[in-house]
Structure 1
Amino acid sequence: MSININKGNTETPTRLLNIAFRVDASLHIGSGHVMRCLTLAAAIRKAANVNITFFCRDATGNSNENIIQSGFELVRMAPPKNTIDLKNYSSWLGTSIDDDCEEFLKLTAGKNYDLIVIDHYAIDNHWHNKVKSITKKIMVIDDLANRKHNCDLLLDQTYQCSTVKYSHLINNHTKLLLGSSFALLRPEFLDFQKASIVKKERTLLIMFGGTDPDNLTLQVLARVIKLKYFERINVILNKTAKNVKSVFNFALCHKKVFLHISPSNIAEIMSTATLAIGAAGTTSWERCALGLPAVVIVQADNQREIANALQLAEVIRFISIAEIEGKLIKEIEFWQNRLKLSNDVHKNCINICDGKGTVRVTNEVLKVIE
């Protein structure tokens, strides 16, 4: 049943595979975990005969509608009981790990799975051990490396991620997929790569993930709107973002600001940009695949290491939230001058992430469950 989707193999396995995803999204934790799981799920569905079910807590600001619109079965878990503390990852379930696992097992209704994929900072080997009886294999998507995992496949798409990071947290049989060459990006980022590199427009992109809980979009807009260099400013926000109405009103007052709410053509919109201002995380790999340099605003301490590495690779410049007022315009001017001198920046970006990571991960997933 081995399928190499790199070669366009259209063979379909006769046995129906059952795969479950355990992942959450909310106003607090954002939508990035769900979005990358949807990307992987779509690629697996295209390559294999498979039934895929998402198990997600019904939190405020969830991405459940995106899952349903993508054509996947959704099982809604109970809303969070407890307050989520962003600095305390174990609280991100909104309940205890035992209660979450018991609810998951009850909702599976006695089903057995070929694979359970877990993308959740609050879930560790304790949860994995409890679900081992209903699945042949377990896959974990992580980047924190702050807890133990009992899994068969572990994906960390962080740039320059090494095996040392997880050596004390996994079993001997765990296969590691490490580095930005495994970044889970939708196919359209590769489709728009060439067009993005040759673009000539003076367009700025502002994109701080789906929900932008810190309202960075408005903070940035208030400063860049005065710049004459950019002829157009594209802003991308999810419709569940709590400040979407304020950004909408800002865009109404400024002709060169265009707000895109939950667009289906994110890669196309991004490909028209000369420069981006945004967050660390998954969007870093999306920008790199499009050859798009950026000013990144670090929102958490765990983002600093990767931001520093990407700055050394000359694909981003990063600042903290506290530095927006004093440094943002200076960093934009840095990129304006740098891009006039050389096109190497675009090559540097694509060397970090070529946009083919989803294909690589999908092939490894099918190998594990064959």
Structure 2
Amino acid sequence: MSINIKKSNTKTPTRLFNIAFRVDSSLNIGSGHVMRCLTLATAISKAANVNITFFCRDAIGNSNENIIQSGFELVKMAPPKSTIDLKNYSSWLGASLDDDSEEFLQLTAGKNYDLIVIDHYAIDTRWHNKVKSITKKMMVIDDLANRKHNCDLLLDQTYQCPTVKYRHLVNNHTQLLLGSDFALLRPEFLEFQKVSIEKKERTLLIMFGGTDPDNLTLQVLTLAIKLKYFEKINVILNRTAKNVKSVFDFAQCHKKVFLHISPSNIAEIMSTATLAIGAAGTTSWERCALGLPAVVIVQADNQREIANALQLAEVIRFISIAEIEEKLIKEVEFWQNRLKLNNDVYKNCISICDGKGSIRVANEVLKIIK
């Protein structure tokens, strides 16, 4: 299914650029990779005359419908043939790397692209080499830095990401876009930035993004409901989250809890919050762009380094899943006391991510394919 997106009045090139995205989402992987690719695709489409196609596996709990609703063409790849082990990134394809690249080439049906964008922890230079004959340029979105890439452009939106992180993993000609200045955020986060900083409500936001397979939402909500400081608790969950019903039932029993399932106005909801409790990852940059401090639950080892850096920058406090019962309320109370002071927490957040990253990345993409 393909739907045309209305272009802005920005001056566009005369010729049509063809761009392909290879990215997956599922109940286990979550939706973060697809959502940041959609943000980039939308930014590019507003600045140029492009035809964009997403190639995604038809996995359980995927976010493929979001691609169609955003107005882009979706080509469904076969469902995963093997079980995904979250600790083993090479398993995230649900197929062998050779099978995945061969299927991708078959589905492209002899087409040629100006750019292929890959956002997948299981794909490396071997996959790139197999498909490079059908594209002029290749871009990789990554943050693990645990494998080699044969690409022309690499994006890692990790805060304070150093060049040395990828020096031995890319070619000499590879252009690196590193750091939270390039965080892929939708335009509405910039739109609601001022409103968020001026907020007056004592509202708590609970948002773990994606599918929340560990049901951290309900675990945190059960503790947070005891906090008298907050007059309102907004909870955001994806409709594909397997524990939606249990959270819904809890919200029905508590008047100050408001559950938002796959809302289209996430930035607006987030902008009303005084404090957030949630996950690491892309949501970190969304919160920073809105000047929103947070208590972050670290769910994977690869999140700990960035969480520590953001804590040192005084925009989050982080704990592990095992520490929720013991430390969550203490960390929330820390922020309650800190925010009563006339401090620079909001400015600290925005200095890390100003919300203009997707525009910067789209401009760099267009430079390399023109």
Could you tell me which amino acid in structure 2 is paired with residue 272 of structure 1?
Answer: T
Could you tell me which amino acid in structure 2 is paired with residue 148 of structure 1?
Answer: K
How far apart are the structure 2 equivalents of 1:207 and 1:100?
Answer: 33
Does the residue aligned with 2:355 lie in a helix, a strand or coil?
coil
Which structure 2 residues correspond to residues 128-167 of structure 1 after superposition, within 5 A? 128-167=128-167
**Equivalent position of 1:71 in the other structure:** 71
Could you tell me which amino acid in structure 2 is paired with residue 106 of structure 1?
Answer: Q
Does the residue aligned with 2:37 lie in a helix, a strand or coil?
helix
Task: Tell me by how many angstroms 1:288 deviates.
Answer: 0.1
**Equivalent position of 2:185 in the other structure:** 185
Query: Does residue 83 of structure 2 align to residue 57 of structure 1?
Result: no
How far apart are the structure 2 equivalents of 1:81 and 1:131?
Answer: 21
Which structure 2 residues correspond to residues 76-115 of structure 1 after superposition, within 5 A? 76-115=76-115
**Equivalent position of 1:288 in the other structure:** 288
After superposition, the C-alpha distances for 1:64-101 in whole angstroms (9 at most, x for unaligned) are 11000000000000000000000000000000000000
Task: Tell me by how many angstroms 1:9 deviates.
Answer: 7.2
How far apart are the structure 1 equivalents of 2:205 and 2:344?
Answer: 20
Conserved? CA contact 2:55–2:76, under 8 Å: yes
**Equivalent position of 2:248 in the other structure:** 248
Could you tell me which amino acid in structure 2 is paired with residue 330 of structure 1?
Answer: K
TM-score under structure 2 length normalisation:
0.97
**Equivalent position of 1:308 in the other structure:** 308
**Equivalent position of 2:279 in the other structure:** 279
Task: Tell me by how many angstroms 1:209 deviates.
Answer: 1.1
After superposition, the C-alpha distances for 1:235-266 in whole angstroms (9 at most, x for unaligned) are 00000000001000000000000000000000
Conserved? CA contact 2:39–2:186, under 8 Å: yes
**Equivalent position of 1:333 in the other structure:** 333
Which runs of 5 or more structure 2 residues have no equivalent in the other structure? 1-7
How far apart are the structure 2 equivalents of 1:26 and 1:9?
Answer: 36
Does the residue aligned with 2:248 lie in a helix, a strand or coil?
helix
Task: Tell me by how many angstroms 1:57 deviates.
Answer: 0.1
Could you tell me which amino acid in structure 2 is paired with residue 110 of structure 1?
Answer: G
Conserved? CA contact 2:10–2:46, under 8 Å: no
Does the residue aligned with 1:287 lie in a helix, a strand or coil?
helix
Does the residue aligned with 2:28 lie in a helix, a strand or coil?
coil
Could you tell me which amino acid in structure 1 is paired with residue 136 of structure 2?
Answer: K
Conserved? CA contact 2:204–2:233, under 8 Å: yes
Task: Tell me by how many angstroms 1:210 deviates.
Answer: 1.8
Does the residue aligned with 2:155 lie in a helix, a strand or coil?
strand
Task: Tell me by how many angstroms 1:343 deviates.
Answer: 3.4
Which structure 2 residues correspond to residues 189-228 of structure 1 after superposition, within 5 A? 189-228=189-228
How far apart are the structure 1 equivalents of 2:343 and 2:48?
Answer: 39
Could you tell me which amino acid in structure 1 is paired with residue 55 of structure 2?
Answer: F
**Equivalent position of 1:349 in the other structure:** 349
Could you tell me which amino acid in structure 2 is paired with residue 15 of structure 1?
Answer: R
After superposition, the C-alpha distances for 1:151-174 in whole angstroms (9 at most, x for unaligned) are 000000000001000000000000
Greater than 6 Å deviation, 4+ residue runs: none
After superposition, the C-alpha distances for 1:26-64 in whole angstroms (9 at most, x for unaligned) are 000000000000000001011100000000000001111
How far apart are the structure 2 equivalents of 1:153 and 1:115?
Answer: 10
Aligned length: 363
Query: Does residue 317 of structure 2 align to residue 317 of structure 1?
Result: yes
Could you tell me which amino acid in structure 1 is paired with residue 170 of structure 2?
Answer: I
After superposition, the C-alpha distances for 1:94-151 in whole angstroms (9 at most, x for unaligned) are 0000000000000000000000000000000000000110000000000000000000
Does the residue aligned with 1:46 lie in a helix, a strand or coil?
helix
How far apart are the structure 1 equivalents of 2:300 and 2:10?
Answer: 43
**Equivalent position of 1:13 in the other structure:** 13
TM-score under structure 1 length normalisation:
0.97
Cα RMSD over matched residues?
A: 0.7
Does the residue aligned with 2:212 lie in a helix, a strand or coil?
coil
How far apart are the structure 2 equivalents of 1:11 and 1:67?
Answer: 25
Which runs of 5 or more structure 1 residues have no equivalent in the other structure? 1-7
Does the residue aligned with 1:213 lie in a helix, a strand or coil?
coil
How far apart are the structure 2 equivalents of 1:30 and 1:91?
Answer: 15
**Equivalent position of 2:3 in the other structure:** none
Which structure 2 residues correspond to residues 163-174 of structure 1 after superposition, within 5 A? 163-174=163-174
After superposition, the C-alpha distances for 1:249-293 in whole angstroms (9 at most, x for unaligned) are 000000000000000000000000000000000000000000000
After superposition, the C-alpha distances for 1:174-197 in whole angstroms (9 at most, x for unaligned) are 000000000000000000000000
How far apart are the structure 1 equivalents of 2:157 and 2:147?
Answer: 17
Task: Tell me by how many angstroms 1:11 deviates.
Answer: 1.3
